[in-house]
Amino acid sequence: MKPAIYNLRGRYYSSDIHVDATIVHKHSSGRDLTNQQPCAVILSDGTWMVCWTQATEEAAKDESVVGATSFDGGETWSEPYYIEEAVDGRTASWGMLFAVPHTERVYCFYWFNENAYWLRDAGTIYFRYSEDKGITWSQRYRVVLPRHKLDPDGAEMHGWNTGFPILAPDGAMLLGFTKINEPSMLREAPGHLFGDPDFWWCECFFLRCSNIIREDDPQKLEFTVTPPGDTGLWAPHMEEPGRHFLQEPYMTVLPSGRIAATFRSRTGYPYYSVSDDCGISWSTPRPLRFAPGGDNMKHPCGPCPIYCTRDGRIIFFFRNDNAPLPDPVLGDHLNYWRNRDPFHVTVGRESPLVARGRSRSDCDDDNAGLYFNKPRIILSGTNVDPQDVRPHRTAQYPQILQWADRFFTVYSSEKTDILVKEIPCELLI
């Protein structure tokens, strides 16, 4: 598929993920073959920092969290440094950065396999922090996560972070993560590492730290997990409706002060939920539509980040298609996961009536009062050297960044290299 080319009054933008993109990190060999799921922050002095998960392959026993720093607006980057290096099977994965406003402190939250358990994504959330732009990092601190109904007694917890941390209107930090029921990971299927991921039982949660912007002592940080109760947010699996399957929450603060979260599902649609109380309670997840009562957006089981700009535009990245790929790779059902290219962008607005807080409806078609425009292609795959470890590259796990009045996206190129690309403002109106 050819990339989309936009003529913006003599300036051209190509959706090809390698055209006009800056390389944050290019893979090498061994434990540097896989680089994925980046998370970037921009400090008040203009310093950029990004972290990501690095390994020989996803879920390998050398999986570590690494980072890099840029002092020139993302044009050049430091060599990667370890934030948490895997040692003796104690893997570290799915790092997420949070920059405390108007300070030098940057936290990195990640899943740490503290017991070197054999099954992937085991452990709990830990964090370290840096106050010198990534040169040094603090000791490791453990976050005590509560056990939920999907966590069997005596078993390890399993999960991963995706929801780039945000600052809620009340000053709390929110981080989105997914938990996996361990028995569901053991339903073996030929060709799958640690079972077939389409069989997983998954629910979404939010780690909330109420005092992170005013407490310097890491041992005095106050963490809770939402929503309250023993069950997280979930949606039915299209082939097994009784099974909970909702993953990878992304969050943003809407102009009204409500928090919207988007998720990937196995229904063929992205889902959303809304919180009116700064991330404590959440509405029942529903399919995201282009408008209240309108058509559902189409999306496979893949990342779908949402971001609200400083002037109130709501940017949403999604596939705009939910058909399975025509050629089976690891089974027909996983072709619903793999149709992730190209990414489209749609830009939305929040209804003024909802923004004034007249009501929050749990109706199927209220769409949280969000209205989105016609989508357009924003990131599309490309071919590289046929001898490369992954010769066809697509954008994986993009993050939307705003720097003053400019917009960027940070992503991995087929979970191999980490890139950053500027997106013209004209494509986000």
Question: Edge-to-edge strand order for the sheet containing 395-403?
Answer: 21-25, 417-423, 406-413, 395-403
Q: Say whether pLDDT at 307 is over 90.
A: yes
- Say if CB 420 and CB 74 are below 8 A apart: yes
Q: Say whether pLDDT at 190 is over 70.
A: no
List strand residue ranges (DSSP E) for 131-253, in order: 141-142, 158-167, 173-180, 202-209, 223-226, 236-237, 240-244, 246-253
Residue 359's pLDDT is: 47
Give the mean model confidence (pLDDT) for residues 139-145: 97
Residue 124's pLDDT is: 98
Q: Say whether pLDDT at 189 is over 60.
A: no
Domains of the chain (ranges, CATH numbers): 5-427 (2.120.10.10)
Distance CA 106, CA 130 (A): 5
Residue 53's pLDDT is: 98
**Mean pLDDT, the chain, whole residue set:** 93
Residue 387's pLDDT is: 84
What confidence category does residue 194 fall into, taking pLDDT thresholds of 50, 70 and 90? Answer: low
Q: pLDDT for 400-412, tens place per residue?
A: 999 999 999 999 9
Q: Say whether pLDDT at 134 is over 90.
A: yes
Residue 388's pLDDT is: 86
pTM score, whole prediction: 0.95
Judging by beta carbons within 10 Å of its beta carbon (0-12, 13-18, 19+), is residue 338 exposed, middle or buried?
middle
Residue 191's pLDDT is: 47
Return the H-helix or E-strand segment holding 353.
Answer: helix 352-355
Residue 423's SS3 state is strand
Give the mean model confidence (pLDDT) for residues 329-336: 61
- Say if CB 176 and CB 162 are below 8 A apart: yes
Q: Say whether pLDDT at 235 is over 80.
A: yes
CA 259 to chain centre: 16
Neighbours of 175 (CB within 10 A): 27
Q: Say whether pLDDT at 358 is over 50.
A: no
Q: String of b and e for 344-366 (b: at least 16 CB within 10 Å)?
A: bbbbbbbbeebbeeeeeeeeeeb
Using CA atoms in the order 26, 55, 74, 427, what is the torsion angle rounded to 10 degrees? 90
Verify cis geometry, omega within 30 degrees of 0, for the bond prior to 227.
Answer: yes
